[in-house]
Structure 1
Amino acid sequence: MEGKEELLGEAALLKQQRKEKKDLQAKIQSMKNSVPKNDKKRRKQLTEDIAKLESEMDERHKQELEALAKNEPEQAPVDNVVNGVSNLDLDSGPLLVQQPRVSKAQKRREKKAALEKERDERIAEAEIENLSGARHLENQTLTHSLAERQLQIKQIPSDGHCMYRAIEHQLKEQDNGLTLSNLRSQTADYMRKHADDFLPFLTNASTNEMFSEEEFEKYCNEIASTPAWGGQLELRALSHVLKTPIEVIQAGSPPIVIGEEYSSKPITLVYMRHAYGLGEHYNSVEPLMVTSSDDG
């Protein structure tokens, strides 16, 4: 029965690891879709981040298999001794307990496990150091700036849709039912109808020349139907679509207001340069929640 349980344990672990690999591939595809193909700098960073995610998962899976394998030789000698004593003929001479032989593969796994532990410790140290790093300082600055306006950051997922999701959140607060899909399609439509206002700002990364009509149409299609990351051009288009000013708060510089010609209540976004490994990210805002000292 014990052997069967061990096999079931290994099968369950392998099944879980296959699912994790599948989930990671889906996440990687979403990450790839979120970065424009002509943005060489962010694509390079994306490649490094993907390699890191895959490496970390491979090493973690190896460690899990090592832990499972380690438990098997530890149990075997105990079972042998118990079985040996229960069946021991007192006249048969001394009982010899054979020590399990450690294979080269097992030694390699143990070495990798030790290296993984060391790497985890370095990561923990880096996180402590990051308390004085760019991400932490940026977050502190934004938190302070927003608090002065009785606001706080509303976290938005980093999935390529962050700018549109942040605007969607703001619109819901104003009882506007436009969805992420609506915002993307209307942005693309506006840019197509006013191509002359946007084409001069879009260039081919390989040739440094302005987009052709075909490249511009492809760019608009990606806005409408993929998790392509949005920036200032898309915000400009959205301010016209919504006939609303869009205020972008960022650390280290004054807020930027796009669509100042409109008089309605602004939509407020938070632009973060160091929020995630891929860099730029948009969050929304919400009223500041004041925690009472009597709570809890």
Structure 2
Amino acid sequence: VMEEETPEELLIKRHRKEKKDLQAKIQGMKNSVPKNDKKRRKQLTEEIAKLESDLSQQHEEELKQMKSNAGTKVEEVVNRVEAIKLEGGEQEEAKQPRVTKAQKRRDKKAAQEKERESRIAEAEVQNLQGVRHQEGLKLAEKLAQRQLQIKEISSDGHCMYRAIEDQLAQRLKELRSRTAEHMRNHADDFLPFLTNSNTGDMFTTDEFEKYCSDAEHTAAWGGQLELRALTQVLNLPIEVIQADSPSIRIGEEYDGEVITLVYMRHAYGLGEHYNGVERLKESTGAEDN
């Protein structure tokens, strides 16, 4: 039988998630600054160090508070044990040593986890030659030619829709709903491109309905089929810029201002991800002179 997670283990798990989220944010910050912009790179390093220091301090304080609370509980157990010993004479209670050992074990585990994550964070900041960094540089260069830069979108499964939502007066829920409805109403245009990953067979009607339902009601990741549906729903062209391939333009038959997305294959170590774009901020070149 699995033991129920202790409050301290739950706290450590939350800390781990917060550190991962921070690393995702840091990666986006690094991707947005060209390698040759040394002044901004130096500022970025300082900003990253501040973010990591603040989060580390917050986590240390929370762990300290947790251990303080745990220490109070241990003391209560010790007092109860001592009372039982006085009443029972010969009885020897082993509860207090077990609690102490468990607490030491948890403390050791927390310290090891903290050290490991600190090493990972340091390696991530210094990994200027990694595939994610290289992808970010290539995208930054392509976007700068259009006077654009990456606008960070959260990696929560809704990224493609959120990137479009950011450029339109449409809400995420509405975009998902309209996408799913369009695919249902034009099944012949979409069903042939969907196959069961286990059998290789084309989706059945039920499988297709589940696919559409997931697109509407869950955080199911959106891809090229959903982009095609969205161009038809919005009557607008969508362009997807990639680091190592020519950009893809969908819905060229439609007039209107193009919606631009950035497709990232290596983002955050989580695999595929879509970001938005925004106007390129003023260069710091004048300040560097």
Equivalent position of 1:40 in the other structure: none
Letter in 2 for 1:226: T
Q: What CA distance in whole angstroms lies between the structure 1 residues aligned with 2:232 and 2:66? A: 58
Q: Which residue pairs with 1:264 in the alignment?
A: 256
Which residue number corresponds to residue 185 of structure 1?
Answer: 177
Aligned with 1:158 (options 146, 155, 158): 155
Give the Å deviation of 1:163. 0.6
> Aligned residue for 2:221?
229
- 1:64 corresponds to: 63
Q: 1:202 is matched with which residue?
A: 194
* Contact map agreement 1:246 1:258 (CA 8 A) in 2: yes
Deviation at 1:124, TM superposition (A): 3.5
Letter in 2 for 1:157: S
Counterpart residue type for residue 134 of structure 1: V
Q: Larger Cα Rg: Structure 1 or Structure 2?
A: 1
Q: Look up the equivalent residue of 1:152 and give its one-letter code.
A: Q
Counterpart CA distance in 2 for 1:197 and 1:170 is 26
Aligned to 1:220: 212
The answer to whether 1:138 aligns with 2:138 is no
Shift of 1:204: 1.0
CA distance in 1, matches of 2:208, 2:250: 22
CA contact 1:188–1:224 (8 Å) conserved in 2? yes
User: Please, what TM-score do these two structures have when normalized by structure 1?
Assistant: 0.62
The 1:239–1:285 alpha-carbon spacing in structure 2 relative to 1, beyond 3 Å, is same
Query: What residue in structure 1 maps to residue 274 of structure 2?
Result: 282
Moved more, 144-153 or 272-281: 272-281
Q: What amino acid is aligned across from residue 137 of structure 2 in structure 1?
A: Q
Q: 1:17/1:122 Cα in 2 relative to 1: closer, same or farther (>3 Å)?
A: closer
Q: Which amino acid in the other structure matches residue 179 of structure 1? A: R
Distance 1:119 1:279 in 2: 23
Structure 2 residue 111 is the aligned partner of structure 1 residue 119? no
Say whether the 8 Å CA contact 2:12–2:110 is kept in structure 1.
no
Contact 1:66 1:110 in 2 (8 A): no
CA distance in 2, matches of 1:203, 1:109: 47
Q: Give the secondary structure class of the aligned counterpart of 1:257.
A: strand
- Aligned equivalents of 1:209 and 1:116: distance in 2? 45
Runs of 4+ in 1 over 4 A off after TM superposition: 14-25, 103-107, 291-295
Give the aligned residue type for 1:158.
S
Structure 1 vs Structure 2 CA RMSD: 3.7
> Which position in structure 2 is the counterpart of 1:241?
233
Aligned to 1:170, the other structure's residue is in SS state coil
* 2:164 equivalent to 1:167: yes
**CA deviations over 1:124-153 (Å, ceiling 9, x no partner):** 443145221011111111111111110011
Query: Separation in 2 of the partners of 1:129 and 1:20?
Result: 25
Q: 1:21 to 1:228 in 2, by over 3 A?
A: same
Report the CA distance shift for 1:126/1:283 in structure 2 as closer, same or farther (over 3 A): same
Q: Distance in 2 between matches of 1:206 and 1:241?
A: 31
Native 8 Å contact 2:8 2:66 kept in 1: no
SS of corresponding position for 2:267: strand
Q: Which moved more, 1:112-121 or 1:225-234?
A: 112-121
- CA distance change for structure 1 residues 24 and 224 in 2, over 3 Å: closer, same or farther? farther
Instruction: Provide TM-score, normalisation by structure 2.
Output: 0.64
Q: Cα distance, 1:199 vs. partner?
A: 0.9
User: Aligned-pair distance for 1:21?
Assistant: 6.4
Partner Cα separation in structure 2 for residue 163 and residue 258 of structure 1: 14
Q: 1:133 to 1:170 in 2, by over 3 A?
A: same
- The secondary structure found in structure 1 opposite 2:278 is strand
